[in-house]
Amino acid sequence: MKFGGTSVADIDRIRNVARHVKREVDAGNQVAVIVSAMSGKTNELVGWCSQASPLHDAREYDAVVASGEQVTSGLLALTLQHMGVQARSWQGWQIPILTSQAHGSARIEGIDGSEIVKRFTEREEVAVVAGFQGLHKDTGRITTLGRGGSDTSAVAIAAAIGADRCDIYTDVDGVYTTDPRIVPRAKKLDKVSFEEMLEMASLGAKVLQVRSVELAMVQGVRLFVRSSFDDPDNPTEGTLICDEEEIVEQQVVTGIAYSKDEAQITLRRVADKPGVAAGIFVPLAESNINVDMIIQVVSNDAHTTDLTFTVPSAEYARAVKILEDARDVIGYEQLEGATDVVKISAIGIGMRSHAGVASAAFKALAEKGINIRAITTSEIKFSLLIDKDYTELAVRTLHSLYGLDKAA
C-alpha cells in the first residue's frame, strides 16, 4: 500500500491511512506500507536547500529532503500501534534499499525484503517504509529517487517481498477514460494495460509516475490505483494496471489524454542539406531539452524545408535562445514559436489491430473547425497538436467518437 503526500498531510489523515491499513490486516493480509512526506514538507525542505546554496551538493540535498519521509513513516507506525496493529518504520538505509549514486534521481539497484517478510510471519508486523529514499552502498550516504519516487519505492518493495498486489492510494479513485473535470461523462476504467498506462502517464495523466509503471511492467507487479479519501471501511474498487493478457475485452481506444506543457517551434526555410537535422537537434539534446513531435515540410522552393517540433513549455525560452545562437550554423530564415498549444492523445492497445483509428479523429476535429498543427503516431497511440483554446472541445469530441462516454 502506498500513500502520497496529500494522504498523509496531517495527523488526522495519517489516522485515516492507518484505518485503510488496519482493514487489510484484519482481512488477513500481510502489509508493507510506503509513505511520502506530508504534502508541502518536501517543498519546504527543497526551498531551504536552495536558500542555503543555489548550486547545491546533491548528497546534502538528499540528506535534507529524505527527512520528510522519515517523519511520516514513524508517525504512521505510531498511529498503527495506537490502533492495536503491530508496526515498525523502516528507513531506506535500514532495509536497505540500495541505489545508484545519482543523488536526487537515484535508481534502485537492489532490495533485500527478507527481514520484512520474516516479520510478517513471526510478528504479524506491518512494515512502514519511508518512500523516495535509498542508500548508496559504497558511500553509505542517503540517496533520493527524485520527485514522485515513492511510487517507484512502492513497486520495488512489492517486487522484493513478492507481493500479490501493489495498491497506490492517491487523491483520485482510479484511472479514467479522460479527465473528468473536462468530460463529466468520463468513465473509471476497471483495467488498463501497462503499455497504455505508460502512454497516459507520460502524456499528462498524472496519476502514476512513469518510472513506477515501467518497473511494475518489468517486474510483473499488479498495480491498483485507489483513493485514500474513500471510507476505509467501505472502499470503492480502483483501477488495475496489469498485463494486457488480463484484459479480456479490449477497447480500440482506452483513453484520451492531454498535455498543456508543450510549446511549438517552427524553423522556416531551413537549408535542405545532409546534417541539418543534427545541427538543430544535437544542441537541444546536449542541453537536456526533450524534443517530441517533429514534422518536416518541403517549402515552395525545392532547396529549403520547414521544420516544426515541440519542446516542454518550461524549456521553450531556453530552446529558442539555443536555436537563435546557432542560427548561422543551422541556416534558417525565420524562427516561429507558439506556447498556446496543447497535445491531445488517444491511447489503446486495440489500435494495433485496427486501421483508420487516427483518420477518424482528423475528420471529427475538422468538422468542429479544429486545425491540427502536428501529428505523431506510435503502435498504441496517436497525438495531435492543436490550439490550446480547443482543448476541451477536442477531448470531448474524441471521447465521444471512440465510444468512451458513460451511459447517461
Instruction: Give me the residues that bind its own copies (CB under 8 A), please.
Output: 11, 14-15, 45, 48-49, 51-57, 59-61, 63-64, 66-68, 70-71, 73-79, 81-82, 88-89, 91, 93-94, 140-142
d(CA 200, CA 194): 10
Residue 156 CB, nearest distance to its own copies (Å)? Answer: 20
Strand-by-strand arrangement of the 97-99 sheet: 108-111, 97-99, 133-136, 141-144
Q: Which is nearer to its own copies, 3 or 309 (CB)?
A: 3
Measured in whole angstroms, the distance separating CA 14 from the mean position of its chain's CA atoms is 24
Task: For residue 188, give the DSSP letter.
Answer: B
Q: Which is nearer to its own copies, 71 or 320 (CB)?
A: 71
Residue 78 CB, nearest distance to its own copies (Å)? Answer: 4
How many Cβ atoms sit within 10 Å of the Cβ of residue 195? 21
Q: Which is nearer to its own copies, 141 or 222 (CB)?
A: 141
Task: For residue 183, give the DSSP letter.
Answer: -
Q: Which is nearer to its own copies, 57 or 324 (CB)?
A: 57
d(CA 17, CA 76): 8
Residue 64 CB, nearest distance to its own copies (Å)? Answer: 4
- Using a 10 angstrom Cβ sphere, with 0-12 exposed, 13-18 middle and 19 or more buried, the burial of residue 184 is exposed
Residue 51 CB, nearest distance to its own copies (Å)? Answer: 4
Q: Which is nearer to its own copies, 66 or 154 (CB)?
A: 66
Q: Say which residue the cell 527524485 belongs to.
A: 146
Q: Which residues pair with 166 in a beta bridge?
A: 223
Q: Which is nearer to its own copies, 91 or 304 (CB)?
A: 91
d(CA 361, CA 349): 17
Q: Which is nearer to its own copies, 68 or 238 (CB)?
A: 68
**Omega before residue 96 within 30° of 0, cis:** yes
Strand-by-strand arrangement of the 294-298 sheet: 294-298, 304-312, 262-271, 334-338
Identify which of 302, 285, 293, 306 has the alpha carbon closest to the alpha carbon of residue 384. 293
Do residues 45 and 64 touch, judged by C-beta distance below 8 A?
yes
How many Cβ atoms sit within 10 Å of the Cβ of residue 324? 10
Residue 159 CB, nearest distance to its own copies (Å)? Answer: 23
Residue 397 CB, nearest distance to its own copies (Å)? Answer: 49
Residue 82 CB, nearest distance to its own copies (Å)? Answer: 4
Residue 227 CB, nearest distance to its own copies (Å)? Answer: 23
Q: Which is nearer to its own copies, 111 or 351 (CB)?
A: 111
